[in-house]
Amino acid sequence: MKEPCVYILASQPYGTLYIGVTSNLIGRLMQHRTDAIPGFTSRYAVHCLVRYEACDTMEQAITREKQLKRWHRQWKINLIESDNPHWVDLAIGLGLPPLGQNGPPDGC
């Protein structure tokens, strides 16, 4: 199912953050988790989905992504913790398997 959204990945709780936009969240998460595309997320092991927001259009998703990228780090952390205080890997709830053997099965 394709739906425009903006998402935030983390390397671990309070770790490195990545903000992205996509119209295929599951497909994009699989790319991040398998390091299929070399870049920031593969270099810093940023694979845990800690927040995502569905948007009506890709234009809205891109606008929201740009807004979040301008935010101070603490504002981003506050946003994540407003809905996900324990930094649970939300990808599991979307049907993806847990990340690796390090740490709790449903956390980052």
Q: Whole-number mean pLDDT of the chain? A: 92
Q: pTM score, two decimals?
A: 0.92
User: What DSSP element (H or E) covers 51?
Assistant: strand 48-54
For the chain, which domains are there?
A: 5-94 (3.40.1440.10)
CA gap 44, 31 in Å, rounded: 14
In three-state secondary structure terms, 32 is helix
Asked if residues 65 and 21 have their Cβ atoms less than 8 Å apart, the reply is yes
Q: What is the pLDDT of residues 37-72, one digit of tens each?
A: 889 999 999 999 999 999 999 999 999 999 999 999
In three-state secondary structure terms, 69 is helix
Does residue 103 surpass a pLDDT of 60?
no
